[in-house]
Structure 1
Amino acid sequence: MALEEITITGNRGWALWKIEEDENALRALAGTVDQPPATVHNTKKRLEWFAGRAVVKAIMEQLGLPFKGIVKDEFGKPFPKAYDYQLSLSHSYPYVAALVDRDISVGIDLEQPKDKLLRVAPRVLHRDELADAGDDVIKHCIYWCAKEALIKVYGKKDLTLAENLLIGPFTRETAGNIPGRIIVNDIETIIPLYYKVYPNFVVVFNKRNAL
């Protein structure tokens, strides 16, 4: 079982999985409550699909709740089936992360730092964010993950990364807090975020409490 990390705090939990199993092993760990869509043919995508269920199952069981599967709303946002809980999933093979919370909408994103982030940055970062990130690919990765986490908190797709989702400047460390803002129709919502830098990837998710 490749559950790398799990943290449970009250009615909230997040976990990280590294895929080391084959599909049959992951299928057994995920249980049989869900089956992948017929359109998921790619081997890595199937492994990510099963690992996503396995990691959510691990969190739910730590929260004292039997895992009954995952359902999605009309916007594609996932939820734990049969429970009034919020859920967010992210994967960048071979890593999968999940965040579950009873009370607030959640967003988690996991990415591996790659040079392509520097190339797309002018399209997704505000000019102030571009200036703050410079040519630091890990910092660019944190910005990218933070914006993806905010999209998942919002739960809909009609946002522009560089305009509706803004991240405050920060000094990069191995872990830390950063302020996020969702701006829609001139209404600004402050979302506190937490990031953690691992040797091969970055994880960002929203916190419960203000910074």
Structure 2
Amino acid sequence: MPLYKTLRPNSQTTVKIWKITESYEDLLESVTLKPENMQRVLGMKSELHRRGFLSVRHLLREFGYTDQDLVYDSNGKPHLKDGKHISITHSFTFSAVVVSDAVVGIDIEKQREKIGVIAHKFLDYENRYLEKEATDYINKLSVIWCIKESLYKLFATPGLSFLQHTLVIPFTMEEASTIAWIDYQEKKYSYQTTFFEFEGFTCAYALPA
């Protein structure tokens, strides 16, 4: 069973990461899905997406939950029926779930050079400290993207823009954490974010600071 990593940022928060090595058939065989989620899986054209979706259900089981315990609101944000906060992500061959007593967001992304092409779509304040010639430029872009995606997931508010409403305070890769802000409709929200790299992927998660 490829539970890849378990992290406990604090006593109220647990992160679990799954390395997706199983076939679609093996993943499907050992979980029970709600009828609507079974239809959703069957409708996915990409087997990679199917495996990602199912691996998340395996992670839920690691937390002691089932597919029945997970519901989504009108903004697409996942919730647990017991009231705990949850965030979900998957990218290629990894998936992750974080469960916390506090509002939380998580994201995993495969590190790819092409993120530099779309950097202008999600960087504003961060351009003040990023150096395009630096050897860790792509790594830092991946971190910033993951952090902003985590903020987007936990805030779950239509109209929130990576470019206009989020910013990430300067950091080094060695620090593995930084503060990030959401500035939305004249209110500011501060979050403690943590990031790390593994096997060519970047993961970040955000909790209230």
- Same-fold call, TM > 0.5? yes
The 5-angstrom pairing of residues 6-25 of structure 1 reads: 6-8=6-8, 9-25=10-26
Residues 36 and 110 of structure 1: CA distance in aligned 2, closer, same or farther (over 3 Å): farther
Residues 30 and 14 of structure 1: CA distance in aligned 2, closer, same or farther (over 3 Å): farther
- CA distance, structure 2, for counterparts of residue 36 and residue 104 of structure 1: 31
1:45 aligns with 2:43: no
1:96 aligns with 2:99: no
- CA distance, structure 1, for counterparts of residue 158 and residue 140 of structure 2: 24
Q: How many residues align?
A: 201
Q: Single out whichever of 7-16 and 71-80 deviates more from structure 2.
A: 7-16
Q: Is the 8 A contact 2:57 2:66 kept in 1?
A: no
Q: Is the 8 A contact 2:105 2:207 kept in 1?
A: no
**Where in structure 1 are there 5+ consecutive unaligned residues?**
none
Query: Which residue of structure 2 aligns with residue 86 of structure 1?
Result: 85
Residues 83-118 of structure 1 deviation map (CA, whole Å, 9 limit, x = unaligned): 2111111111101011111x2211000011111211
Q: Is the 8 A contact 2:106 2:206 kept in 1?
A: yes
Residues 58-106 of structure 1 deviation map (CA, whole Å, 9 limit, x = unaligned): 1x22xxx5663421100000123x32111111111101011111x2211
- CA distance, structure 2, for counterparts of residue 13 and residue 30 of structure 1: 22
Q: Single out whichever of 28-37 and 41-50 deviates more from structure 2.
A: 28-37
TM-score (norm 2): 0.88
Query: Which residue of structure 2 aligns with residue 130 of structure 1?
Result: 127
Q: Secondary structure at the match of 2:68?
A: coil
Identical amino acids, percent of aligned pairs: 22
TM-score (norm 1): 0.87
The 5-angstrom pairing of residues 96-175 of structure 1 reads: 96-101=95-100, 103-126=101-124, 128-135=125-132, 136-173=137-174
Amino acid across the alignment from 2:123: L
Q: Is the 8 A contact 1:145 1:203 kept in 2?
A: yes
Query: Which residue of structure 1 aligns with residue 195 of structure 2?
Result: 195
- CA distance, structure 2, for counterparts of residue 98 and residue 200 of structure 1: 19
- CA distance, structure 2, for counterparts of residue 196 and residue 4 of structure 1: 14
Q: Secondary structure at the match of 1:68?
A: helix
- CA distance, structure 1, for counterparts of residue 6 and residue 39 of structure 2: 24
Give the root-mean-square deviation of aligned CA atoms. Answer: 1.9
Q: Secondary structure at the match of 2:152?
A: helix
Residues 29-82 of structure 1 deviation map (CA, whole Å, 9 limit, x = unaligned): 433455251432321111111011111221x22xxx5663421100000123x3
Residues 16-37 of structure 1 deviation map (CA, whole Å, 9 limit, x = unaligned): 1111001122123433455251
Q: Is the 8 A contact 1:36 1:46 kept in 2?
A: no
- CA distance, structure 1, for counterparts of residue 152 and residue 97 of structure 2: 15
- CA distance, structure 1, for counterparts of residue 53 and residue 205 of structure 2: 20
Q: Secondary structure at the match of 2:117?
A: helix
Q: Single out whichever of 5-14 and 151-160 deviates more from structure 2.
A: 5-14
- CA distance, structure 2, for counterparts of residue 30 and residue 3 of structure 1: 15
**Where in structure 2 are there 5+ consecutive unaligned residues?**
none
